[in-house]
Amino acid sequence: MKPILLKVSLALSLAPLLGCQPEPPTDPVAPAESPASEPAGMSEAELGPAEGMAPEDLGPAVGMGEDDMGPPSIMSPSDVDPASGPSFDCAKASGDVERMVCQDPALAALDRELDALYTRLQSKAGDRDAFVATQRGWVKGRDECWKDSDAPRCVREAYQTRLVELQLDSGEVVVPTPVAFRCGDGTLPFTAVYYNDIEPRAAVLTWGGDQAIVFPDRSASGAKYGRQGVSFWEHQGEAQLDFFGKQATCQPIG
């Protein structure tokens, strides 16, 4: 899928980190008839239809190797234990992605985690309609992962990215001090902010006006983060960066 690069402020504590997140709809979202009854499930059927992201708006999806996913499940939706299944009813699952989430325990666990976080933060949202609309857009974008050449990875990264976005946007997370690097000719400022106290762990890379949320990746030495299209590997006092095809060697500043 085509990656999305966002224009953001370097003040990470104030700017929403929207690696995969759709832009809020320009048209106002009609309020639900009963706010208390608005479903928080992570299925299209439960959230209801809404305009969402195109496939490329979901952002690149990668991170950990495919081996980290474990073997695919062979359970049918009717075999899924509600306690270990996703937040939505697998008997009503529609589309390849929802069925994939029902059949994969790891994805189902991510779905439950996201549903719990979303439900908790929804009650605190200042603009509830926009909050719900954004989540609907995310579901729409996640469901486009069936088109990806590595659909399980795409879905996993969609969940992980949304979990990070919601936590950082909530204001409940202390923003660590950005680490500055000089990359390439140094024309564009580059910073990395490492969030080691949230789940999943992540880093936010900002190069000029472009930003990506990346996740820990396996490496023989040093610290490596990545997602599809992005690789950032700190090793022996410098970092190798591949930012959506733009490559550079980076040196820490200070």
CB 220 within 8 A of CB 154: no
- Regarding predicted confidence, which is higher, 18 or 137? 137
> Do 105 and 214 share a structural domain?
no
CB 158 within 8 A of CB 145: yes
- Regarding predicted confidence, which is higher, 49 or 225? 225
Q: How many domains does the chain have?
A: 2
Choose from 11-25, 66-80, 220-234 the range with maximum mean pLDDT. 220-234
Average of per-residue pLDDT values in the chain: 78
> Do 156 and 42 share a structural domain?
yes
Sign of the dihedral defined by the CA atoms of residues 46, 47, 53, 56, in that order: negative
Residue 226 in 3-state DSSP?
A: strand
pLDDT at 83: 64
How do residues 154-203 score in pLDDT, each as one tens digit?
Answer: 999 999 999 999 999 999 999 999 999 999 999 999 999 999 999 999 99
Task: Show the domain range for 248.
Answer: 179-252
| Concatenated DSSP letters of 173-221 | SPPPPPEEEEETTS-S-EEEEEE-SSSS-EEEEEETTEEEEEEEE--SS
34 pLDDT higher than 50: no
72 pLDDT higher than 70: no
Residue 20 tokens read as 């995969």
According to DSSP H, which parts of the chain are helical? 44-47, 95-103, 105-122, 128-143, 151-169
CB 18 within 8 A of CB 62: no
204 pLDDT higher than 70: yes
With bands split at pLDDT 50, 70 and 90, how would you rate the model's confidence at 84?
Answer: confident
> Do 190 and 215 share a structural domain?
yes
How do residues 6-24 score in pLDDT, each as one tens digit?
Answer: 333 333 333 334 343 334 4
Establish if 25 belongs to a structural domain. Answer: no
* CA-angle at 109, arms to 108 and 112, nearest 5°: 90
Element (H, E) at 232: strand 230-235
Establish if 212 belongs to a structural domain. Answer: yes
CA atoms within 13 A on the CB side of 52: 22
What is the average pLDDT across 36-45?
A: 50
Residue 210 one-letter amino acid = D
39 pLDDT higher than 80: no
pLDDT at 82: 53
> Do 118 and 241 share a structural domain?
no
N residues, the chain: 254
pLDDT at 43: 72
* Domain end residue (candidates: 113, 146, 169): 169
- Regarding predicted confidence, which is higher, 65 or 145? 145
Element (H, E) at 113: helix 105-122
> Do 216 and 137 share a structural domain?
no
36 pLDDT higher than 70: no
pLDDT at 44: 60
136 pLDDT higher than 90: yes
What is the average pLDDT across 79-85?
A: 61
> Do 185 and 144 share a structural domain?
no
With bands split at pLDDT 50, 70 and 90, how would you rate the model's confidence at 125?
Answer: very high
CA-closest candidate to residue 145, choices 97, 98, 101: 97
